[in-house]
Amino acid sequence: MEVSTIGRYEIESELAVGGMGIIFLARDPYIQRQVIVKVLMYSRTLDDVYREYFQREAEVIAALEHPCIVPVYDFGWHGKQPYIIMRYMAGGSLQDRLKESELKLTEMAHIFKRVAEALDAAHAQNIIHRDVKPSNILFDVTGEAFLSDFGIAKSKPITDEEGEWLVGTPGYMSPEQVLGEPVDGRSDIYALGVVLYRLLTGSMPFSSESVTSLINAHVNLPVPDVREVKANIPAVWQEVVAKAMAKDPNDRYKTAGELARDVTEVVSGKWFLRKL
């Protein structure tokens, strides 16, 4: 997509292209700051479902307005293509950090606290993220963590001329999300449990080149023991991961904050005092 401006925003570079949209780094000439511009693919503008899906992200984040959620600054139309203007997160994503090195446990606990606050605020308004994963956890220039990409919040499976497809990322989807059943905040907690497993071990709990096999594993296979991947991980971490990723939502943490609290207490050692 060759373009120099979108709305009043001056395009500096193209950052990414996905199945639904293009992400640009741009500058707001009015206040001289860099911003992110997300534009819906032109080919997707012909279908109402994609335009609604895209606009929903702006509406959801505007309704939340939380200090741990990447803010939306503006929404508009570039011809027939809707676009969202968001804060530029200069620190990259958690996915980027994982490619560079392992996180310190104290860093992990702080990230979980921030993401949990964002999720609990969303859940209090009956908004389910549905796509919690490292690439949707972003950092500002100071290294503070923010939750991003609420584009599929409140969504149901989308049906277009190519058939029906699940919304979400298969490696992080809860069993109930995979099965197309009603979901609540505990589905996001499951995904956060997958993120925890990955941060602790450096690998995913389930992996397969087949999407069908992967999502079936989330439904049918027990949560792998983190110590099978890294033998030196304390057994307590398996207890936390297993609770977050329980197949039955009733067996999981009730809130993301409860999960983040346990992560913090294991890291600080308070968990063990609690068990005395």
**Residues labelled as active-site residues:** 131
The 3-state DSSP class for residue 49 equals: helix
Amino acid at 55: Q
Residues in the chain: 276
In terms of Cβ atoms closer than 10 Å to its own Cβ (0-12, 13-18, 19+), residue 233 is: middle
Buried b / exposed e along 68-77 (16+ C-beta atoms within 10 A)? bbbebbebee
Q: What angle do CA 37, 114, 275 make, to 5 degrees?
A: 155
Q: Which residue, 150, 158, 111, is CA-closest to 267?
A: 111
**SS3 assignment, position 260:** helix
Q: Tokens 């995979």 appear where?
A: 178
Distance of CA 226 to the CA centre of its chain: 22
